[in-house]
Amino acid sequence: MGAGLRPLPLTAQAVHLCVDMQLIFSAGGPWATPWMERVLPVVEAISERFPERTVFTRFITPQRAEDMAGTWRRYYAAWPETTRDRLDVRLLELMPTLRRLSPPATVIDKTRYSVFFGPALLQHLRARQADTLIVTGSETDVCVSATIMGAVDHGFRVILVRDGVCSSSDEGHDALLNLYHRRFSEQIETASAEEILSKWR
C-alpha cells in the first residue's frame, strides 16, 4: 500500500521520530500492542542508522485521573491501572533496545496523543533545521496518527515507515495507511524501511 518515496533526497535535515515504543504498550503491559515486538527490529534499524538524528517520544500518564481535565479524566477513570499512583512506572520506559540509543538520541515526554501538543519537539526540530520526519512507533491509529497530522500542520515532509508502525487494532492500522495514501498523498509518503534505509545515507 502506498507509492513509496518521492524522488527527493533524504538529507542531514531528516529526523527519525519514533512514537511511544514503550514497555506499557508491549506484551504484558496494560495497553498491549500485540505486534509491537514484530516491528521492533525495523524500528531499531531506523534508529541505529543515525541515532543522533532520532527522537523518541514517551507517553507519560498522570499521577491520578483527577489530575486531568475533561474527557481525559473519564479516560483514565476507565484505565485506573495506568495512572502513576498504581502503575509500575518502569513500564513508561522505552523498549530496552531503543533506550540504549539515548544519548545520542533525544527523548521527549508527552501527556497527550500528539507530541506537538507541547512545544518541546517543535523547538528541537527548529533548532536542528529539520525539514523531514521519518515516523515509526505505536499506535498507528492513535498517537502516531495524531503526531503525523501535527507534523503536516507544521509543513514538514512526513514519511511513514509502513513496516515500522503497529497498533492493537489491525482494522484501524489498515484504515489509517489507506487514508494516508488516498487522502494525504501530497503531504504524507508511506514507504518500507528497506526503501528508506537505502536512500538515507
Helix, strand, coil content of the chain in percent (nearest 5): 40, 20, 40
Q: What pLDDT, in 10s, does the model give residues 14-54?
A: 999 999 999 999 998 999 999 999 999 999 999 999 999 99
- Reported as a pLDDT band with limits 50, 70 and 90, residue 169 is confident
Question: pLDDT tens across 66-117, in order?
Answer: 999 999 999 999 999 999 999 999 999 999 999 999 999 999 999 999 999 9
Which DSSP state fits 95?
A: P
Q: Cβ(80)–Cβ(115) under 8 Å?
A: no
CATH number for the domain formed by residue range(s) 14-63+93-199: 3.40.50.850
Cβ 113 vs Cβ 58: under 8 Å = no
What is the Cα–Cα distance from 156 to 15, expressed in whole angstroms? 10
Q: Rounded to two decimals, what is the model's pTM?
A: 0.96
At 139-167, the pLDDT tens digits run: 999 999 999 999 999 999 999 999 999 99
pLDDT, residue 2, reads 57
Query: What are the cell numbers at 189?
Result: 509518503
82/162 Cα distance (integer angstroms): 28
Residues contacting residue 128 through CB under 8 Å, at least 6 positions apart: 13, 15, 53
